[in-house]
Structure 1
Amino acid sequence: MKAFFDDRQSKHDPKHFMANGAVLPSPEQPERINRLRAGAEAAGCVFEAPEDFGLGPIAAVHSPEYIAFLQNIYSRWRRIDGAGDEVIPNIHPANRSDGYPKSAVGQAGYHQADTACPIAEHTWEAAYWSAQSAIAGADCLASGAPAYVLSRPPGHHAFGDLAGGFCFLNNSGIAAERLRAKGLRPAILDVDVHHGNGTQGMFYERADVLTVSLHADPERFYPFFWGFAQERGAGPGLGYNLNLPLPRGTGDDDYLKALQTALMRIQAFGCDALVVALGLDAHVDDPFKGLAISTPGFARIGAAIARVGIPTLFVQEGGYLSEALADNLTSTLSGFQNA
């Protein structure tokens, strides 16, 4: 299986993370790259660097206002007397229709949903090349070959104009839109432990991309405000979004049952390209402790996806530092390829 990654993706090295009022080291560390790459190579992946496809495929799903913010906010932030080393919001609008300030502080609050997406000197560069890797993967799939994309930083919490949860550019959404522009009919299957709220928001009123997410129930789990079963899409997109929230601690067998429901909906959509937003943080030993999938369980997930018979692109989302991280990726990709 072909795989895509650019070394510049390692330049993003966030220092700030807040949980339950405590400031902690960020779980989204560059070391994830080393472990994920090792896991992919153990499954037979051969990596290559993406070419530069430019801003067009990114701007197809992200607003120019937001892109300009990501490109420029760090240099603007550094001009603030006494500013911290990373761009971290301390105020947010009540809704997206409130005023748009000129202040860097105000715009940070507008475009960053939480404190888990700090922006530093190389964040835009890393996010840009993470997205380019996803675009290369989409083109590979469109040419007839499945692929794996080591997209880091991840993307599924990024809306069209809003960063959040370690995410800046929505790599899975960018890939799906790239496939759609090439005449394909894509669906996005998100198996991260956290709901793909940015991806849902990006396509919520559209009928040309199906979005499906299996995740820990958001009633008591990030992202808290999205991911409930009653969220089915709106306007032309009504019925084109499916959320399958699962009880905390759900293990392999019950997860596989829910996955079958997800795959049946994807088949009903009649898609000819499947983007899997591949979160490995559903593992029992992941630091976030949301679900309890075993390493062999990931092989079963990969095999179930393969049996549907839809050309598939895997785009890396979550999965944080644990002894099992590389093995979980190997298990997923091997299960898919050996089904």
Structure 2
Amino acid sequence: MKAIFDARQSAHDPKHFMANGRLSPNPEQPQRIAELTRGADAAGCRFIKPSDHGAGPIAEIHSPEYLVFLETIHGRWIRTEGASEEVIPNIHPDRRTASYPRSASGQAGFHQADTSCPIAAGTWQSAYWSAQSALSAVDTVLAGEPAAYALCRPPGHHAFSDLAGGFCFLNNSAIAAQALRRAGRRPAILDVDVHHGNGTQGIFYGSRDVLTVSIHADPARFYPFFWGHAEERGEGEGLGYNLNLPLPRGSDDGEFLAALEIALARIRAFGADALVVALGLDAHENDPFHGFKVTTPGFGRIAAAIAGLGLPSVIVQEGGYLSADLGDNLTSFLNGYENA
């Protein structure tokens, strides 16, 4: 299987992460790249660099206003007297229809959903090439390969069309799905990250052209809290084209695989002819976020079940944080997919 990655994705090096009122080291570190690369190498992947598809495919998902913000905000922010080295908002609008401010601080609050997506000098460059990696994985699949792995870092599935959040800036999975759609395919997105892909859901919530399915820890007491509940089914033309399968914290291989069967049945019913897998490895039992108890061999079983759909698949890396098992979990998933 081909794997796509650009070294410029290492430039984003966030230092901070605020949770429960405490400032802690950010878990979305460049070191993740080394562990994921090790895992992909062990699965026999052949790494290539992405092509530059320009801003157009990204702007099909994200507003130009938001893209200008991402590209320029850090330079503007650090000119503010007393500003921190990273862009972290301290005020948010009470509604998305609120007026758009001119100040760097106000725009940060408008475009950053939470305090886990700090923007530093290298953030835009890394996010841009992460998206290009996803787009080049689409190229690989459209050229006839059965699957391709995009080592997307930073991840993307919490990013809405004009809103960063949860370590995410550009929604790589949504960008990949839209590229498949533009090529005449009928794509489904299957998100298996332990956290709900709220940005992906939001982007396609009113669309019947892309099916969105997510298996994740119940958000009643788990990030992202406000999205990912079973009753969220889409709206307007998209009603019935979104499926959330929240599971209790601590769910294991068997419980995950049971939910996956429901997800796969919905994808078949949609008549998808291409698949984007939003691959979160943070469902593992030893991941720092401790949401699920999926085992390393369990990722192989999950991948084999997904491969059973027989669809050309773009595998986009989402979560999965630093632990001794991270690379092995990716190896298990990719081998399970290849050997199905």
Q: TM-score w.r.t. structure 1 length?
A: 1.00
Q: How does 1:1-339 map onto structure 2 within 5 Å?
A: 1-145=1-145, 146-339=147-340
CA distance in 2, matches of 1:233, 1:330: 34
Question: Post-superposition shift, 1:93?
Answer: 0.3
CA distance in 1, matches of 2:20, 2:103: 28
Question: Post-superposition shift, 1:53?
Answer: 0.6
In structure 1, the residue corresponding to 2:314 is in which secondary structure? strand
Please tell me the residue identity of whatever aligns with 1:4.
Answer: I
In structure 2, the residue corresponding to 1:255 is in which secondary structure? helix
Per-residue CA shift, 1:230-278, capped at 9, x if unaligned? 0000000000000000000000011100000000000100011000000
In structure 1, the residue corresponding to 2:251 is in which secondary structure? coil
Aligned residues: 339
> Which ranges in structure 1 are unaligned for 5 or more consecutive residues?
none
In structure 1, the residue corresponding to 2:215 is in which secondary structure? strand
Please tell me the residue identity of whatever aligns with 1:291.
Answer: F
CA distance in 1, matches of 2:142, 2:46: 18
Please tell me the residue identity of whatever aligns with 1:186.
Answer: P
CA distance in 2, matches of 1:335, 1:51: 28
CA distance in 2, matches of 1:54, 1:262: 33
In structure 2, the residue corresponding to 1:187 is in which secondary structure? strand
CA distance in 1, matches of 2:95, 2:44: 46
In structure 2, the residue corresponding to 1:12 is in which secondary structure? coil
In structure 1, the residue corresponding to 2:250 is in which secondary structure? coil
> Which ranges in structure 2 are unaligned for 5 or more consecutive residues?
none
Question: Post-superposition shift, 1:19?
Answer: 1.5
CA distance in 2, matches of 1:174, 1:44: 26
Q: TM-score w.r.t. structure 2 length?
A: 0.99
RMSD between aligned residues: 0.5
In structure 2, the residue corresponding to 1:158 is in which secondary structure? coil
CA distance in 1, matches of 2:112, 2:138: 27
CA distance in 2, matches of 1:189, 1:257: 15
CA distance in 2, matches of 1:196, 1:274: 15
Please tell me the residue identity of whatever aligns with 1:8.
Answer: R
Per-residue CA shift, 1:3-22, capped at 9, x if unaligned? 10000000100001011111
Per-residue CA shift, 1:55-94, capped at 9, x if unaligned? 0000000000000000110011011011000000000000
Question: Post-superposition shift, 1:173?
Answer: 0.3
Per-residue CA shift, 1:140-195, capped at 9, x if unaligned? 11122110000000000000000000000000000000000000000000000000
CA distance in 2, matches of 1:62, 1:222: 23
Please tell me the residue identity of whatever aligns with 1:121.
Answer: A
CA distance in 1, matches of 2:138, 2:105: 35
Runs of 4+ in 1 over 4 A off after TM superposition: none
User: Percent identity of the aligned residues?
Assistant: 68
